[in-house]
Structure 1
Amino acid sequence: MRSGGPYDQLVSEAAGISFTNWEFGWLDGRTTVAGPSWSYPALAAPLLRAAGSALDLDTGGGELLVELAPLPAHTVAVEGWAPNVAVARDRLAPYGASVVTELPGGEDEFDVVLSRHGRLPAADIARLLRPGGTLLTQQVGSDDLADLNAELGAAPPYLRTWTAATAVAALEAAGLVVTDVREERPPLTFADVGAIVQHLRAVPWQVRDFTPERYDRVLRRIDAMIRRDGPLTVTAHRFCVQASRR
């Protein structure tokens, strides 16, 4: 990769970012995310206030649960990515939440199950929810940033269709009653090519063979386009589902 110009400086900076959890502060001011019309924390908070127990799937570094504190007396967070486990335990210990690396094995244990951009194992959720318990999930749909992949000439980000309809079908097949469904495709804007590189390094499933070197030619083209025409806007895909156990 050639070096010395503004493009190379942006890409070199992006390549030097290290990631320990799902905090994206280094993108502040360089990406603009409209977000869906709903607020996931605003939907989750009243559920937790009324609950005696809660399970958070794929908690990352525990950022969301801290935002939602105070937490139910029995709160368990699941996180399977090793670099995040220690971060989540340190962050959540003062709030009385335990962090485990596998789904609990019992039944009828939790009043609330949360999954924000995490797994949605419908049968396990049905098993773990108490009768009358509630699931709240916000998911990244399979169309997420698909136009960014197209711009890069990369394969689509997801091999299966993942939409509100497919999630609802899975939850209902597991015996849950779906009570609310929302789905939107808000815009996401990248101010410079470095922000694109940072984003793709942070979420490696978006373009699975991504390296700045492999995509150097097309990234330079996008960099020139941004400098000429302004920020690159692509489309996110989010949906939110609430369900309960009979």
Structure 2
Amino acid sequence: MNDFDASIADALAAPTGGWDFSFLDGRTHCAETSWSYTDLARPLIDAAGALLDVDTGGGELLAAFAPLPARTVAVESHQPAVAAARLGALGVAVVPALADAGGGFDLVLNRHGRLDAAGTARALRRGGTLLSQQVGAEDCAELNAALGAPPPRPAGAWSAAVAAEALAAAGFALQEVREEFPELTFDDPGAIVFQLRMVAWQIPDFSIERHGARLRALRYPFTVRTHRFLIRASNG
């Protein structure tokens, strides 16, 4: 088995339960944004009496913030059992949809989840805070192009400006808006395969049979731009 095939085999055999990207440790290198989402979230959590975390994934990041407010709810529809297993011991209720979470929250966190402006406004108390880091429409677009796949979203379809406009229309007062394009480098083809298994919406029909020739033709390390934006806003 050559290096290419071995790298692909490792990536296909790696487990993808939860939201665990540890397989990519040492295989990918991503530049940091100028902000730290965790550093911004921590004091907001400490001051909150009621916290809602939207699209918590496996609950890994939310659990890392413990101790959490007495009333903490997490929304997760993709892998609710994984999130509940991790967060249940912390007293966190896991619900399948934002509409099921209730209202009166002091703080809504949303890291890379669907940002429903109107639904978030309903969940927050008056004067409550939203902190969200989003993945923009141009995220890793060079990877799609290199593998001959269409982009997952049209350019400009989801950006800081689009999100800020939707939040303002829902009654939010914008406090901070930032947008950046940090570089992400894949050291080997297996790293790309695992990334596309975890982030399946990047190339929904990805397969080795369909995209393997282009994957083999890439020069490694292979670098693309990610697309991140941060919004902090208050509800009215």
Q: Could you say whether these structures have the same fold, taking a TM-score greater than 0.5 normalized by the shorter chain as the test?
A: yes
Residue pair 2:73, 2:101 contacting (<8 A) in 1 also: no
The one-character-per-residue Cα deviations of 1:15-55 (angstroms, maximum 9, x if unpaired) are 11221111100100000011211110111111111110011
2-side partners of 1:200 and 1:53: how far apart?
35
Gaps of 5+ in 2: none
Offset, 1:107 = 6.0
* 1:41 alignment counterpart: 38
Please report the RMSD computed on the Cα atoms of aligned residues, expressed in angstroms: 1.3
Gaps of 5+ in 1: none
2-side partners of 1:106 and 1:30: how far apart?
37
Question: What secondary structure, in the 3-state scheme, does the structure 2 residue paired with 1:61 have?
Answer: coil
Residue pair 2:99, 2:119 contacting (<8 A) in 1 also: no
> Which of the numbers 89, 96, 103 marks the counterpart of 1:94?
89
How many pairs does the alignment contain?
235
Residue pair 1:108, 1:131 contacting (<8 A) in 2 also: no
Residue correspondence of structure 1 range 160-199 to structure 2 within 5 A: 161-199=157-195
Instruction: Give the counterpart letter for 1:86 in structure 2.
Output: A
* 1:219 alignment counterpart: 215
* 1:151 alignment counterpart: 146
* 1:200 alignment counterpart: 196
1-side partners of 2:67 and 2:3: how far apart?
46
1-side partners of 2:119 and 2:99: how far apart?
9
Aligned pair in 2 of structure 1 residues 97, 191: CA closer, same or farther (>3 Å)?
same
Aligned pair in 2 of structure 1 residues 51, 193: CA closer, same or farther (>3 Å)?
same
Question: What secondary structure, in the 3-state scheme, does the structure 2 residue paired with 1:70 have?
Answer: coil
1-side partners of 2:118 and 2:99: how far apart?
13
* 2:130 alignment counterpart: 135
Instruction: Using structure 1 for the length normalisation, give the TM-score.
Output: 0.92
2-side partners of 1:49 and 1:106: how far apart?
20
Instruction: Using structure 2 for the length normalisation, give the TM-score.
Output: 0.96
Residue pair 1:180, 1:241 contacting (<8 A) in 2 also: yes
Question: What secondary structure, in the 3-state scheme, does the structure 2 residue paired with 1:29 have?
Answer: coil
Instruction: Give the counterpart letter for 1:211 in structure 2.
Output: S
Aligned pair in 2 of structure 1 residues 111, 161: CA closer, same or farther (>3 Å)?
same
Aligned pair in 2 of structure 1 residues 221, 106: CA closer, same or farther (>3 Å)?
closer
Instruction: Give the counterpart letter for 2:111 in structure 1.
Output: R
Offset, 1:216 = 1.5
2-side partners of 1:163 and 1:196: how far apart?
24
* Structure 1 residue ranges (4+ consecutive) displaced by more than 6 angstroms after TM superposition: none
1-side partners of 2:167 and 2:102: how far apart?
17
